[in-house]
Structure formats: C-alpha cells, structure tokens
C-alpha cells in the first residue's frame, strides 16, 4: 500500500484515542478548562455514566466570539505561544488537543459569554463536523455539552464499563478536585440525582468532610511544610491526611496534586505511607489530599498523553517534603480523641471458631463430635460411612481428599497432609468460598437468614459509595442485609446476613462498596454483590488460628461444591505431591 494522507475525520478519531479514554477523561479536560478560566462555581451534570450526556458549566472568564471559532482547531490554545513557555506553565491545559478530540467522537456544543460582550455565542459540532459560531443569549461563563460519546466509534463504546461504574469514576475525579480546590463551589448531578456538593468556602477540612462523610470529621489532619522540621527547599506541601484511626483497604481516597495538576506517582504514595510506619496495619491506607508546589521549571508535565504523570528534576526532595509534612501532622495530632470501647460480659474474648463458624454456641473440648459440630454450622447431618470411607481416599463429592491439618504459615496459610501429598490452603480464600456458597444456598431457597442488630448502624459514605449502595439495595436485601438510605450521605443497616459473625460491619461495608464500584466480579450484579459480601466478611490473612479452628475451616471447605477457588476465581489451595517432595529433596 502506498503512503497517503489520512482524512481529517480519521485523524480526529485516532487522536481522540489518546486524550479521550472514557467519560471521566472528558470531564477532567472540561473542569480543568474551567479552573484555568478562574471559575468559582463549577456544575457537572452527567447521564448514563457520561456516555449519554456530560454538561460542565462554570462562571469563568468565558471565550470571546472571535476566539470561539478557533476553539475546535487542533493545537489552538491560549495557554502558551512557544515551546519555552512550558518551563513556566501555570495552567492545567496547554496542548490545544482536548476540545477537538472530544468533538471528534461526540455531539459537541459550547456556549460562552464574556462580560465585555452584550451577547454570548454558541458553537455546535456533531462528531467533528465544521460549524459556524452563532450569537445566543448566554450568562457570563461557559457551558460545554457532550452527548452520545463514542457514538461514531462503537468499538470504543463496547470497552466502557457499566454506566454505574463509569459514573463512579467521574465521582472520584470530582471528589479529588473538590478537595483540592476547596475555594470553588462544586456540584455533581448523575441521572438527575445530586451526588456531590461543596460550598466553596476555601476550608480544606470542611470540603473533606463534605466529600467523604462525617466519619472523618475528627480525623482530618492539616499538613504543611511551613515548620522548620518539615521544610524542604524549593518544595511547598499543603492539604490534609487522616489520623491512623480512619483508614481504608485501598488507596482510592488518596490524591496528589502537583502545581494544581492531579497526578499518579508511586514514589510520593510510598513516601506518604512511610510516615504512617507502625501506625497502620498491613494492607490499610490513609485518606488524604496532598498539594505540592514546585518551580514549574523543576517538573516536566509533558510526559504522559493524558498528563496523569509528571517527572521531577529532584524527585527525592519532593518525596522527602511530603513525608516530613505528613510526619509532622501525625506527631502533633491531638491525643484527646480516644477510640470508642465497648465492654461485654466477662467471658473472655471469642475465639476465631466462635466468631466465624459456631455462631453463639460455646464449645468445650470433647463436648461434641466433629460431625455434630459441623452439622451445627451447615445444618446438614453427616456420617462416617457417607463421607469418610471411600476406597481411593476421596472423602467428598468435591474431589478433595480427607486432609489432616498440621499447622499454619504466616498466619495466612494452613498446611495439611492428604493421601496425595501436602496441601497449602489460603485461609481467606477458603473461608470466602464457604461464605459464598452459604449465601448462594440461602438465595436459592429465597429465604435469607438475617440477624437484626441491637442498635442500627449508621455508615457515612463517600458520594461514589452512596451511588453504588443505591444501585445495590435490592441485591443487598436479597442476600440478607436490611438497609436503607439515611439522610443525604449515609445508609442505615438494621440487619446483616446470619452467616456473618462479629465483624466490624462499618469497615467491611466500605470494602464491599469499593469493590462493587470497580465493577464487581460476578456474572450478574446480584452475583457480584454476593461475592463481594462473602470476601469482605471472611477471615483475613494474618489472622492466627488454633489447630481446632483450622480443622473446622478445612472440614467446611471439603463440603463445598467448588472448593478449589474463591468467588473471585483465586485458588484456595496448592498441592505438592509426595513424588514432587521427594524430587525437591533429591530422593528421586
């Protein structure tokens, strides 16, 4: 094939692939334009997860009628005039690619007005088509509407997630920017429902609580590099982090901004979490918003297609400044706020087996046979003849042989011996499989067992968590939860599935909703809810078990229908045959 010039339509679609990855990418480009226009009010309205409609309105400086005709021209920008301007760049946008790339794959409209002109102007461009600027009545500011995103590129649309998931990505993005620019009044509406609102007072702590809920109201710690101990030459750090008593099992509520730009940077993430060394459990992460100001000449912002990453001239100094600021905030926090403690009758702490396997019944050594104990858990009667005496050593329909538990490694893995050699069992994945099948059994009977809570539990949720909770209400009730919306940013839990025993439900519900926000792991939404609930209410890695407790867990796993994988598909066990063991020790 000979070399030829591509048509402008094709060029536009290809270029859009680098800038417009998903609806959240469009929202990011539009709100950054609003920030560059010095807006103090930014309203975002989305429908269908952003695929059907995205509308961003602001009260910024607007665009003149003469400039509007150039707005959709590729590489037309008001942010710089020559390459050297990148060294002193003070704006978020600069390439002049965003608007033409968005217009190339959507029905695009921009309305704008400035104080110096008596009327505004509108420019419409369906899928990149050329359009004339028309006069229109428009208030001071700019409104950009993007409809039918990827309507002319169906292959791109097929790769988007469910509308609820895409809406969650947008909510996280707005949450990040609303926390960073607390001086701007933000509002986000999704399918007609208000998801997020901030006042624009300029108070970082107020914005943080408004976005993440009242759970963090006493846990927001301002960070600053102003003190002598935190100061690093050439780097200014501000923002907030949470006290160690408020943490998450993920890093999705931890944001970094460099010169106003939202970035991803592993070194900065690691530096911040190092300040929490010994203060957080393994696998727990803080929440926070960290602003970093450096000389624009010391950071390269033009190293990533979507500007999500930057390169520092002195990365170590920036990381050191972040760690010092976080450390100062943690060591100077008030020690007057103590965690709440509740006392039960003095019968000693429950064992793991009492907590997860035996409900409220108390067991003593020799009080019942193993099969009786198992029947109490599963509701099934077992017998030695049925399950323990097959000629080939296979004890159960699941295909797992009878296993003899030997011990535990790293408080996470159970070592067991069987007819075919050694088995290493992941205690969390195993218990997740058990919980998942118990939930499925109850769903099949259309009779989910519930345990009412003595005191209903109020859980404050972040906007994206609340959106997922609303979407999942019916499915949560199906598997045994009794919950409802409570106020504007919380849910009220009155009962939980009976299979869940003595866990911190407030913490676990956040984990369940975060996993569902990422799309879930099931074939249906109901299955995704069941898998997530089973996973996040199971025994965790790092939890020491007694020998009896390990035996109980293995016994229950042996009786599941699919014992070799958890609901997410991760293996529950590994097997090393006797011949492989002998080979490894050079006996063969």
What is the CATH number that goes with domain 8-194? 3.30.565.10
Biggest CA–CA distance in the chain, Å, is 93
Query: What's the sign of the alpha-carbon dihedral 421, 426, 432, 434?
Result: positive
Tell me the two tokens of residue 364. Answer: 């003593």
Distance of CA 207 to the CA centre of its chain: 19
* CATH number of the domain located at residue range(s) 401-576 in this protein: 3.30.1540.20
The full 3-state SS of 441-487, as one line of letters, equals HHHHCCCCCEEEEEEEEEEECCHHHHHHHHHCHHHHHHCCCEEEECC
DSSP H or E segment with residue 108: strand 107-113
What does 188-225 look like in DSSP terms, one character per residue? EEETTEEEEE----S-HHHHHHHHH-GGGTTTEEEEES
What is the β-pairing status of strands 193-197 and 235-242?
unpaired
What is the distance between the alpha carbons of residues 421 and 581, in angstroms, rounded to a whole number? 8
Distance CA 240, CA 412 (A): 34
Domain boundaries, the chain: 8-194, 204-331, 401-576
**Would 8-194 and 401-576 be classified into the same CATH topology?**
no
- How would you write the pLDDT of the chain (588 residues) with one tens digit per residue? 677 776 766 666 565 556 688 999 999 999 999 998 899 999 999 999 999 999 999 999 888 888 888 877 776 666 555 565 555 566 676 555 778 888 889 999 999 988 777 788 999 999 888 878 888 887 789 999 999 999 988 888 888 888 888 999 999 999 999 999 999 999 999 999 888 999 999 999 999 998 888 888 888 999 998 888 888 999 999 999 998 888 888 888 999 999 988 988 889 999 999 888 767 777 889 999 999 999 888 888 766 665 677 888 899 999 999 999 999 998 887 544 444 444 344 444 444 444 444 433 333 333 333 343 333 333 344 333 344 344 444 455 556 778 888 888 888 899 988 877 888 889 888 888 888 888 888 777 777 778 888 888 898 888 888 888 888 888 888 888 888 888 888 889 898 887 787 778 888 888 888 888 877 777 678 888 888 888 888 888 888 888 888 888 888 888 887 787 787 777 888 888 888 878 777 776
CA atoms within 13 A on the CB side of 78: 14
Q: Determine the length of the chain.
A: 588
As a whole number of angstroms, the distance between CA 581 and CA 579 comes to 5
The phi and psi torsions of 4 (rounded to 5 degrees) equal: -145, 155
Q: How far apart are CA 524 and CA 517, in angstroms?
A: 14
DSSP single-letter state for residue 96: S
Q: Look up residue 113 and give its two tokens.
A: 């007005």
**Domain boundaries 204-331, corresponding CATH code:** 3.30.230.10
d(CA 435, CA 446): 17
- Cα angle for residues 190, 193, 196 (degrees, 5° grid): 75
Question: pTM for this structure?
Answer: 0.64
């Amino acid at each position: 094939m000979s070399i030829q010039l591509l048509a402008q339509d094709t060029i536009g679609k290809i270029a859009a692939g680098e800038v417009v990855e998903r609806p959240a990418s469009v929202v990011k480009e539009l709100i950054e334009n609003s920030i560059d226009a010095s807006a103090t009010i930014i309203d975002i309205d989305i429908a269908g997860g952003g695929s059907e409609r995205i509308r961003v309105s602001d009260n910024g400086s607007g665009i003149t009628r003469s400039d509007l005709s150039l707005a959709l021209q590729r590489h037309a920008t008001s942010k710089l005039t020559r390459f050297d301007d990148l060294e002193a760049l003070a704006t978020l946008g600069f390439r002049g690619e965003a608007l033409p790339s968005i217009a190339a794959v959507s029905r695009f409209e921009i309305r704008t007005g400035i104080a110096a002109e008596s009327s505004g102007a509108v420019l419409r461009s369906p899928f990149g088509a050329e359009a004339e600027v028309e006069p229109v009545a428009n208030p001071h500011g700019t409104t950009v509407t993007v409809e039918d995103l990827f309507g002319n590129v169906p292959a791109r649309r097929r790769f988007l997630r469910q509308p609820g998931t895409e809406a969650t990505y947008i909510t996280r993005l707005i949450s990040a920017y609303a926390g960073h620019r607390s001086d701007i009044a933000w509002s986000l509406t999704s399918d007609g429902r208000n998801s997020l609102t901030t006042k624009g007072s300029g108070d970082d702590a107020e914005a943080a609580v408004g976005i993440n809920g009242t759970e963090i109201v006493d846990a927001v710690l301002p960070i600053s590099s102003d003190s002598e101990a935190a100061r690093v030459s050439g780097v200014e750090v501000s923002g907030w982090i949470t006290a160690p008593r408020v943490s998450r099992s993920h890093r999705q509520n931890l944001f970094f901004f460099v010169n106003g730009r939202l970035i991803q940077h592993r070194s900065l993430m690691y530096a911040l979490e190092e300040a929490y060394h010994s203060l957080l459990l393994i696998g727990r992460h803080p929440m926070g918003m960290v602003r970093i100001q450096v000389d624009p000449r010391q950071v390269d912002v033009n190293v990533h297609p979507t500007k999500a990453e930057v390169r520092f001239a002195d990365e170590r100094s920036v990381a050191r400044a972040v760690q010092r600021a976080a450390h100062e905030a943690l060591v100077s926090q008030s020690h007057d706020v103590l965690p709440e403690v509740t006392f039960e009758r003095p019968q000693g702490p429950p064992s793991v087996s009492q907590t997860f396997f035996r409900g409220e019944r108390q067991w003593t050594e020799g009080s019942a046979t193993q099969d009786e104990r198992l029947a109490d858990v599963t509701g099934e009667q077992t017998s030695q003849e049925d399950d323990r005496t097959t000629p080939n050593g296979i004890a159960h329909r699941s295909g797992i042989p009878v296993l003899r538990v030997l011990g535990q490694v790293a408080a996470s893995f159970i070592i067991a011996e069987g007819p075919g050699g050694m088995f290493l069992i992941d205690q969390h994945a195993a218990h997740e499989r058990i919980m998942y099948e118990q939930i499925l059994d109850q769903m099949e009977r259309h009779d989910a067992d519930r345990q009412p809570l003595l005191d209903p539990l109020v859980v404050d949720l972040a906007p994206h968590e609340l959106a997922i909770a609303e979407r999942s209400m019916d499915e949560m009730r199906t598997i045994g939860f009794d919950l409802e919306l409570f106020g504007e940013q919380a849910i009220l839990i009155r009962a939980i599935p009976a299979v869940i025993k003595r866990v911190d439900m407030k913490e676990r519900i956040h984990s369940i909703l975060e996993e569902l926000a990422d799309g879930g792991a099931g074939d249906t939404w109901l299955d995704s809810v069941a898998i997530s609930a089973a996973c996040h209410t199971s025994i965790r890695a790092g939890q020491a078990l007694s020998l009896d407790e390990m035996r109980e867990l293995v016994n229950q796993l042996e009786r599941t229908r699919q014992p070799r994988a958890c609901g997410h598909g991760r293996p529950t066990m590994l097997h090393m045959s006797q011949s492989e063991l002998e080979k490894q020790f050079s006996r063969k």
